């Protein structure tokens, strides 16, 4: 049996709990693949449709707008109806958004489907962050959160290896089609193995007369504001690197396939960073480690902006940037899960993610 969110710190982690954590990691991998799919596809789309840089910026940002709305609106839904139900709805939106993008005949249609996919991703993030925390105990929570966050760059690495051959032919539509297939495959897995925490969360909310606006009440307002501001600053840097690396590589005279390789190796650094954070934070202060990795991120962003003449130089910088950026993201997600009370965990997480990704 699963422990309820009311007693998350004392229960023994069984294979069922770890299975839920791994599923959350896979769901986050979908997020990583989905978001990065447009970065992989952007050079080919730009070439096919002769897009101006300003229009390309909208294409790269559209799912972030959807994420912002989805995180804010669906975080509260996850606290009211349950994590599992919200995850399933978000998976359906992501599947539809990716499949629709694969069939888009013009820019307007592609933007609309990217908005739908982003909306699903936003609600997914708030839900899996809360769920991962709730199925974990105090001893393993930092590692569990690190594994969940690790899914994002893992999705980028696996997706990059699978997509690179497609980019050699410029077949960007297949990228979105495969993303839709992966999302659909996870639907029955979630139904079968993800715990339903609806009654436990509803009981806590009823006991405390909780409302969505409680994250802005005295006692939580400062936490909400600080976490939201920290996340928007950090995630803006995160997307600055991930969204523009492929285009910069192509502008340097390399092929789109080489651009996909650079983005893939960026995520290798990110995977290592997530694991390192989980190990270190389990033996230290999550807040302190998060602060240090944010400082490392700032240093790498400055170095990234200095300009690089060779592909090797750029690869070294983006690997280091991926390491620090994703370590800090792991820290932020852990803080979301621990600083907000259980009945407002998805709401608070969704608000911070929505503000952050919308701002990005």
pLDDT of residue 3 exceeding 50? no
The residue ranking higher by pLDDT, 309 or 78, is 78
Dihedral sign, Cα of residue 79, residue 84, residue 87, residue 88: negative
* 56 confidence band (pLDDT: 50, 70, 90): confident
* Per-residue pLDDT tens digits for 89-141: 999 999 999 999 999 999 999 999 999 999 999 899 889 998 998 888 878 88
Interatomic CA distance for residues 245 and 251, integer angstroms:
10
If one counts every other C-beta atom within 10 angstroms of the C-beta of residue 11, the result is 16
> Per the structure block, which two tokens stand in for 51?
């897009």
Query: Among the listed ranges 120-124, 165-169, 199-203, 204-208, which one has the minimum average pLDDT value?
Result: 204-208
At 282 the three-state DSSP class reads: coil
> Per the structure block, which two tokens stand in for 114?
């990217």
221-251 vs 256-281: helix crossing angle, rounded to 10: 150
At 358 the three-state DSSP class reads: helix
Give the mean model confidence (pLDDT) for residues 58-82.
Answer: 86
Burial of 62 (0-12, 13-18, 19+ CB in 10 A): buried
For 140, phi and psi rounded to 5 degrees? -110, 5
Give the mean model confidence (pLDDT) for residues 268-276.
Answer: 88
**pLDDT, the chain, mean:** 84
* 1 confidence band (pLDDT: 50, 70, 90): very low
pLDDT of residue 275 exceeding 60? yes
> Per the structure block, which two tokens stand in for 358?
């919308």
Report which of 350, 358, 333 is spatially closest to residue 21, judged by C-alpha positions.
333
Query: Among the listed ranges 20-29, 82-91, 313-322, which one has the minimum average pLDDT value?
Result: 313-322
Report which of 135, 110, 113, 182 is spatially closest to residue 17, judged by C-alpha positions.
135
* 10 confidence band (pLDDT: 50, 70, 90): low
pLDDT of residue 227 exceeding 90? yes
Report which of 188, 197, 183, 196 is spatially closest to residue 91, judged by C-alpha positions.
183
At 132 the three-state DSSP class reads: helix
pLDDT at 113: 95
Q: What is the dihedral of CA 235, 141, 290, 277, to 10 degrees?
A: -90
* Per-residue pLDDT tens digits for 334-357: 999 889 988 888 899 999 988 887
pLDDT of residue 323 exceeding 80? yes
pLDDT at 198: 59
Interatomic CA distance for residues 349 and 43, integer angstroms:
33
pLDDT at 196: 77
Interatomic CA distance for residues 266 and 73, integer angstroms:
31
pLDDT at 91: 95
Give the mean model confidence (pLDDT) for residues 229-249.
Answer: 82
pLDDT at 7: 46
């Amino acid at each position: 049996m699963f422990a309820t969110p009311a007693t998350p710190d004392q229960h023994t982690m069984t294979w069922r709990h770890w299975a839920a954590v791994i599923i959350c990691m896979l769901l986050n991998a979908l997020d990583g693949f989905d978001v990065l799919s447009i970065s992989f596809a952007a050079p080919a789309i730009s070439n096919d449709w002769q897009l101006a840089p300003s229009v390309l910026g909208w294409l790269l940002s559209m799912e972030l707008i959807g994420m912002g709305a989805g995180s804010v609106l669906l975080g509260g839904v996850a606290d009211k109806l349950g994590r599992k139900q919200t995850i399933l709805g978000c998976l359906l939106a992501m599947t539809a958004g990716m499949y629709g993008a694969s069939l888009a005949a013009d820019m307007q249609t592609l933007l609309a489907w990217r908005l739908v996919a982003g909306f699903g991703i936003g609600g997914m993030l708030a839900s899996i962050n809360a769920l991962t925390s709730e199925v974990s105990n105090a001893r393993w929570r930092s590692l569990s959160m690190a594994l969940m966050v690790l899914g994002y760059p893992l999705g980028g690495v696996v997706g990059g290896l699978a997509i690179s051959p497609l980019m050699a032919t410029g077949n960007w539509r297949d990228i979105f089609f495969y993303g839709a297939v992966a999302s659909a495959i996870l639907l029955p897995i979630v139904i079968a193995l993800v715990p339903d925490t609806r009654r436990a969360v509803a009981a806590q909310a009823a006991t405390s007369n909780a409302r969505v606006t409680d994250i802005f009440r005295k006692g939580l307002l400062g936490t909400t504001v600080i976490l939201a501001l920290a996340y928007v600053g950090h995630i803006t840097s995160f997307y600055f690197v991930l969204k523009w690396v492929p285009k910069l590589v192509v502008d340097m005279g390399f092929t789109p396939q080489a651009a996909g390789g650079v983005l893939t190796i960026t995520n290798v650094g990110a995977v290592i960073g997530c694991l390192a954070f989980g190990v270190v934070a389990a033996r230290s202060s999550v807040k302190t480690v998060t602060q240090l990795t944010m400082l490392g991120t700032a240093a790498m962003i400055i170095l990234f902006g200095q300009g690089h003449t060779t592909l090797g130089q750029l690869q070294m910088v983006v690997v280091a940037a991926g390491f620090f950026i994703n370590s800090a993201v792991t820290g932020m997600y852990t803080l979301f899960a621990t600083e907000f009370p259980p009945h407002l965990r998805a709401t608070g997480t969704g608000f911070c993610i929505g503000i952050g990704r919308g701002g990005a």
